[in-house]
Amino acid sequence: MVRISSRRTLLAVAFAGAVVLIGGAVSPASAATSIDGPIGLGTAAPFAVLGSSTVTNTGPSVLNGDVGLSPGTSITGIPPAVVNGTVHATNAVAAQAQVDLTTAYGVAASLTPTATGLGDLAGQSLSPGIYAGGELSLSGSLTLAGSADSVWVFQAASTLTIGSGAIVTLTGGASACNVFWQVSSSATLNPGAQFVGTVLADASISAQTAATITGRLLARTGAVTLDTNTITAPAGCDTTPGTVTTSPAITSAAPPAGTVGTDYSHTITATGTPAATFAVTSGSLPPGLSLNPETGVIAGQPTTPGDYPFAVTAANSTAPDTTATYAITIAPSSSGVQVPSGGTGVDVGSASSGAGAALAESGADIVPALLIGFALIAFGGVVRWAHRPISRRRVSG
């Protein structure tokens, strides 16, 4: 029983390994999305304030930029607020700005973070990058150190809370044009906060008494509430959005088996922007097959039977690359014809049967195999004869 159990275990392990090898396995690296410039705001860029349900102001706020609302209809508190721009209340301009805000929000949310698990950002000096957390907050000072082309994107999976007296400082020529805060729910800027950047909130934004903002407050589905604030939309920004790229991920099924002398074609596909190119990075394809690096098509006519393990890597200059490992099994020709690399078929049925003749499919010498077979048959006969009772044995001669 132990012997049978062990045998079954070994067979199961071998079968599982064969399935993984032949079926193919994709490396665990996950796709990453990056951007090589600022997030494009489209027609939302001129707005200091853009709301969806309402825009409400209390006190003598100063709004340096446009103010918009769509699809809601209630903008209140202007005046006493002073708007150094144009008020777009439930018109086509505000509606298009909301469409472009939704696009920008989606881009910001899609980017792969360079740092995760963040909470309170106070006391940090951050280089350009994508920073993510759940409930992001700032209770003190935050320094963003970079150049005029540097970009920061902060992703809050929940809320954003800027504390009373908190301050964001830019150094090294960094620009408020390129600081973005993507908030999955609502944002609150507490009294006296000195804030920098464009808030892209999925719900609402509240700027409390005397909070100042060098940037924009843009709310997708909720309200923007103001109270004696100064909000200045950044001027002179490069409105050309950065290019969003996504690293590749192989999506195609494992290549099927093939047959010697039969046309073969299988396409390796991958997601990613820009389109990926493909290369065999380990092992080798079966003889007679080749991989098109641009289309991912494995094609040709196999010439030699066997199992051929190999790996294909897809790359598009956006890290990380992705690699899948496969094995293609090539079966012998059903007609008994093997196509060697020289391209001339050899008919197994007409191959020489003399001493030293080779089997066309395996390349093995037939004579040793036959001799071994006869020897085993003879040995079996001797064993059976030896086990007979003496009275029943026949000895010739």
The amino acid at 171:
T
Answer for the pair 17, 201: CB distance below 8 angstroms, yes or no: no
Q: What is the DSSP string of 151-179?
A: -EEEEESS-EEEPTT-EEEEETT--GGGE
| Residue 337, pLDDT score | 54
Q: Tokens in use for 272?
A: 């990613």
Name the E strands within 341-382: 346-347
Q: How many C-beta atoms lie closer than 10 Å to residue 137's C-beta?
A: 18
Q: Give the position of tokens 């032949």.
A: 22
| Residue 376, pLDDT score | 46
CA distance 177 to 378: 92
Q: Taking the domains of the chain in order of start, what are their residue ranges? A: 22-31+244-338, 38-232
CA distance 110 to 271: 15
| Residue 334, pLDDT score | 80
- For the CA atoms of the chain, what is the radius of gyration? 36
Residue 357 CA to its chain's centroid (Å)? 54
CA distance 270 to 31: 11
Q: Which of 239, 230, 238 is nearest to 65 (CA)?
A: 230
Q: How many C-beta atoms lie closer than 10 Å to residue 300's C-beta?
A: 17
Run means of pLDDT, 10 residues per run, the chain, 397 residues: 38 37 52 88 97 97 97 94 96 97 96 95 96 96 95 97 97 96 98 98 97 98 97 90 91 96 97 95 97 98 97 93 96 71 40 35 41 47 47 43
Alpha-carbon distance values, 130 to 30, 45, 53, 182, 309 (Å): 17, 21, 29, 11, 39
DSSP 350: G
Q: Which of 17, 23, 27 is nearest to 312 (CA)?
A: 27
Question: 22-31+244-338: what fold?
Answer: Immunoglobulin-like (2.60.40)
CA distance 349 to 335: 10
| Residue 10, pLDDT score | 38
